[in-house]
Structure 1
């Protein structure tokens, strides 16, 4: 079971909603709405090779494939920045030691908090892969396109918490995948902005309706 490789994109889908993840990966369904389209357009611009550049102090790499064999995890980062740092590592093609920073782009900043924990866990998964490849301790930030600002993430400070949660999610994903079953909708799941709203909720509402009808029939 541990040999089943999982993409960081799949990790994102599962964290958003296990049931939605199951519809995509087990049922092979897909649906988009305006939020998905906006996110796709943003990442298409970010992953444009023309955005990569090299200067004396900084090198920016886009669409960097990363992996971690022991965790069975792989993906593609939006952007990795290499900045001159006396405490950094040596990277071929960059003059002098440098610090690596993972930059994950998000269309909108969350309300009433600095960042979403699921987004932080996504970047933490990327960090594990980057650190494994480059033998370094990379940093991670979120870039909110609507506010045009960066949000640093406490990846090192919360590494024990993120590591435990990541391993638990990977275990769940592998279990559901091997069983070929779609996870149930989590309690209090926010479905309003989900692109699968029309695909998922009608079935759920019909099941609830039939259940209510059967309860009335069976009630003395």
Structure 2
């Protein structure tokens, strides 16, 4: 089970803990992440149910060895200094010392997408735990049944850090990010809870009203 988020950090203490799944949610949509983190809100649809069914096996803790590769499933990972924690779907430990995190996704893989952030966070946690570099990870796509290799470079690591700070900002301010009201909302299982179109119209109406009713300069009368 993913460790709960801390809502506050002691003065001078470690950073607020952010789960690796929150990194992916925030990278996909900050408002979606806020609804989950602040309101414990979540809703399933056909896509999320497929994902749950796909993850049933990899979410059962266990390990096996085939040839020179040891495969560990549902491995808890963390990085105390960075305030990250979560669970790796699968981690391959090779005989030559390589460690490869594998994130399973039911849908299609998008290079540079939210899954890459979660995977990079896993790699950074594993590096801290095993004290060895992890330059690559894998996203397994259930849609095409392929493994997609992801490079964990400096840009990917920086993205993890900036995304984690954005998540902490949401947690500390206790305020929901604005609804994007774009194509992402069509595929989001939480759109009924989020009501992006309603909120987008509200913001548009408020902007139009402020433009209509701007205070007018006082008239100057000649004597």
1:175 lines up with 2:169 in the alignment: yes
Which residue of structure 2 lines up, in the alignment, with residue 103 of structure 1? 102
1:130 lines up with 2:123 in the alignment: no
Query: What is the rounded CA distance, in whole Å, between the counterparts of 2:211 and 2:23 in structure 1?
Result: 41
TM-score after normalising by structure 2: 0.80
Which runs of structure 2 are paired with 1:83-162 in the superposition (5 Å)? Answer: 83-85=94-96, 88=97, 99-110=98-109, 115-138=111-134, 139-155=136-152, 159-162=153-156
Secondary structure in 2 matching 1:173: helix
Give the CA RMSD over aligned residues: 2.5
Cα displacement (A) at 1:206: 5.5
Q: Would you identify which runs of 4 or more consecutive aligned residues in structure 1 move more than 6 Å? A: none
Q: Structure 2: which 5+ runs fail to align?
A: 1-8, 215-223
Asked if 2 retains the 8 angstrom alpha-carbon contact of 1:17 and 1:189, the reply is no
Asked if 1 retains the 8 angstrom alpha-carbon contact of 2:105 and 2:141, the reply is yes
Query: What is the rounded CA distance, in whole Å, between the counterparts of 2:199 and 2:205 in structure 1?
Result: 10
Q: Structure 1: which 5+ runs fail to align?
A: 89-98
Secondary structure in 2 matching 1:40: helix
Asked if 2 retains the 8 angstrom alpha-carbon contact of 1:60 and 1:82, the reply is yes
Cα displacement (A) at 1:203: 3.9
Query: What is the rounded CA distance, in whole Å, between the counterparts of 2:114 and 2:120 in structure 1?
Result: 10
User: How many residues are treated as equivalent by the alignment?
Assistant: 201
